[in-house]
Amino acid sequence: MWFFLIVVLAAIIFEYSNGFHDAANAIATVVSTKVLTPRQAIAMAAFFNLTGALFGGAVAATVGKGLVDTQVVTMSTVLCAVLAAFIWNMLTWWFGLPSSSSHALIGGLCGAALATAKGDWSVIKWNSGLWPKVVVPMITSPIAGFILGGLVMFLLFVILHKLTPHFIHQFFGKAQILSAAWMAHSHGTNDAQKTMGIITLALFTGTQAGRFDHLPAWLQFLHTPAFILPLWVKILCALTMAVGTAAGGWRIIRTLGHRVVKLQPVNGFAAETSAALIIQLASLYGIPLSTTHVISTSIMGVGVVKRFSGMRWRVVERIVWAWIFTLPATGLIGYLLERITGGF
């Protein structure tokens, strides 16, 4: 029981870090365009991350039971996975890099599960889970974000070219609030679900191992004989992500909102709308997408259409390398943690 509580605490800490690490996903553009103040943007993002987190469960199911063999997973596996993701989150946050918390958690889980299985690679569900729902979207979703962001921006240029800059700035100053709110809600529907899946996996593992058999009556709700997503897990993760979002994430906000390309409200609207649409579709099909990748490349796509020479390609290069290394790095960290600790 104490081990389970440690796992839940670690998951909550990770979810909190996810909130402030990925807060920039929803609010970097709306802050950089000065449509909202940082405090207003964070409050809005925290609220809509909360609403998004309470909807759906397809992504949680993918993370909890669709990536690795749940029969092999132990409490130690789950704890090492979360710790690996948290370590990577802190490293990339320190350097201001918008890396993927989602891929960090997935990489940590796969690495820790591989160590638990003593190097048996069959424990990872390659064909039904990791490849179609993580690796392929990892490649296609940033491309989709880049293309859709650029396309939406181009269409807006065509539609609005006869209107005055003053009217465009005023209109999209208001419209961007809606697009940023949708982006925050979409982030909640996808990112918060991943930690829900991890906690539910820990519940399932504890039930299977008989760890909850002798609990008092008031704790019997912890039993999860089937992979069911309890309401208390949803509420816990949703609130934690909202609090984490409220803590901000200014290093990453500066990178996305200022250092990649200079944005106007119409640019922010195009980027946020494009990213939110892609993330919502992914959440519907249970794909644990990297919301960071999608919003970042949407901003890049918008920036290229706006002015190719205005893109700061050195910053883009640093971001891309952080993306490439996330899965293997967290997989290795998770594997080493599980081997070093010996499964506790």
**In terms of residue numbers, what domain contains 18?**
2-341
Residue with tokens 């952080």: 322
Type and span of the H or E element at 267: helix 265-284
pTM summary value: 0.84
| Spatial separation of the C-alpha atoms in residues 286 and 137, rounded to whole Å | 11
φ/ψ (deg, to 5) at 283: -60, -35
Query: Residue 323's Cα: distance from chain center in Å?
Result: 13
| Spatial separation of the C-alpha atoms in residues 175 and 184, rounded to whole Å | 14
Type and span of the H or E element at 76: helix 75-94
Q: Per-residue pLDDT tens for 224-252?
A: 766 678 888 888 888 888 888 777 655 55
| Spatial separation of the C-alpha atoms in residues 125 and 281, rounded to whole Å | 23
Mean pLDDT of 46-71: 85
Contact yes or no for 134/106 (Cβ under 8 A) = yes
Q: What angle do CA 312, 249, 64 make, to 5 degrees?
A: 105
Q: Per-residue pLDDT tens for 140-182?
A: 988 899 999 999 999 999 999 888 888 998 899 889 999 989 9
Report the percent of the chain where pLDDT is more than 90.
24
The answer, yes or no, to whether residue 187 has pLDDT greater than 60, is yes
What would the DSSP string read from start to end of 198-244?
A: HHHHHHHHHHHTTTTTT--GGGGGG--SS----HHHHHHHHHHHHHH
Name the domain count of the chain: 1
